[in-house]
Amino acid sequence: MERVYLDNAATTKIRPEVLDVMVRAYSEFGNPSSVHREGQHAKKAIEEARESIALSLNCDPAEIYFTSGGTESDNWAVKCAAKGHVITSKIEHPAVLRSVEMLEKHGLKVTYLPVDKNGLISPDSLEKALTPDTSLVSVMMANNEIGTIEPIRELSSIAHDHGTLFHTDAVQAVGTVPVDIQKLGVDLLSFSAHKFYGPKGIGGLYVKKGTEISSLLNGGSQEFNKRAGTQNVPGILGMAEALRLSVSEQEKTVARISELRDLLKKELVDKIPAVLFHGDESSSLPGIVNFYIPGMDGEKTLLLLDVKGFACSGGAACSSKDSAVSHVLSAIGATKEEAKNSLRISIGAYNEKEEIHSFVDVLSSVLRP
């Protein structure tokens, strides 16, 4: 039986066009920092990739820094731009939460903004939390467990009114929904290629011109002297191609995925009326459906679904190995039982209607006593 992959928020399948670009790039080996022809050829290729990414995100190429992925970008933004007091939210990815916790150990003050039952942060709560000491606000653009999209434009403008830098972890948003950096008005923005049908281990941080941020990695003078280490040329080229293709097809893909999401929700309600959905319908990524069914053992259900050919998740991929309750579901007011046993289905560009039908059929059979 063909496997059905419904865990696209954890990672996506690499696009064949992206793989082609990368295979070609792997057959050339120049170091972009070398002055000879091989090196300069590699340098030209990564600068073209930088331009293409900047065009997709609406910023200047000199504001894009390549990193090893979303985790590094978040660590860099948070650890190297924060001083005194930092504000973040209770539903951030561990890459942000563990970074601010480390800062707390070094004496920085941290405020964790609450969210409402749909996962939304109120601009009012940010306004109230800002102090003259606040150096950085870090709020994710879209949540990886429930899909809620935060009002980043409004939040960043409040932070700026207080002279505070604003970082957004846009790892789940970039490539999936429109991300226009000028419109968002942020100073720092993290993204990662494997969430938009590109390779793993490559990502980037947008740093607005003039933003004061020290380096996370020290060494050579790569990345405008800000991020040391020989660049991952095939990864960078693959990421640029993946983003270009995702953005050019975004409208069509969002419409298709939204249709599959609506179908999934309808079928779930029809077959299992007690189903309870988490998240915000009006401001959400198109493909994430997080739900709980009373009495369902999340971990056992995931294992049974896997055996029957369905790959889905109990929440964030990073925490799916332990049975800890989800900090995101807890923050939106879910009970411990719900926060431990909910499932996350994340639909991607390669999913088909038939897969949704068979998923709901198999889930209801698995849950039948």
Distance CA 368, CA 355 (A): 20
Interface with ligand PLP includes 71 (CB under 6 A)?
A: yes
Given candidates 12, 144, 156, 301, which one binds ligand PLP under the rule CB under 6 A?
Answer: 144
CB of 199 to ligand PLP, least distance (A): 10
Interface with ligand PLP includes 113 (CB under 6 A)?
A: no
Active site includes 312? no
CB atoms within 10 A of CB 259: 14
Q: Is the CB of residue 363 less than 8 Å from the CB of residue 301?
A: yes
Distance CA 148, CA 138 (A): 16
Distance CA 369, CA 346 (A): 26
Q: For ligand PLP, what does the binding mask look like between residues 307 and 346, x meaning CB under 6 A?
A: ----------x-----------------------------
Measured between its terminal Cα atoms, the distance across the chain in Å is 25
Task: For residue 114, give the nearest of 347, 368, 332 by alpha carbon.
Answer: 332
Secondary structure element (H or E) that encloses residue 64, with its range: strand 64-67
Nearer to ligand PLP, 293 or 313 (CB): 313
Total number of residues binding ligand PLP (CB under 6 A)? 14
Nearer to ligand PLP, 111 or 138 (CB): 138
Interface with ligand PLP includes 69 (CB under 6 A)?
A: yes
The interface region with ligand PLP, picked from 29-37, 79-87, 165-173, 210-218 by CB under 6 A, is: 165-173
Helix (H, G, I), strand (E, B) or coil at 252: helix
Q: Which of residues 168-187 bind ligand PLP (CB under 6 A)?
A: 169, 171-172
Question: Dihedral of CA 26/27/30/32: which sign?
Answer: negative
Active site residues: 318
Note the residues at the interface with ligand PLP (CB under 6 A). Answer: 69-71, 74, 93, 95, 140, 144, 169, 171-172, 192, 203, 317
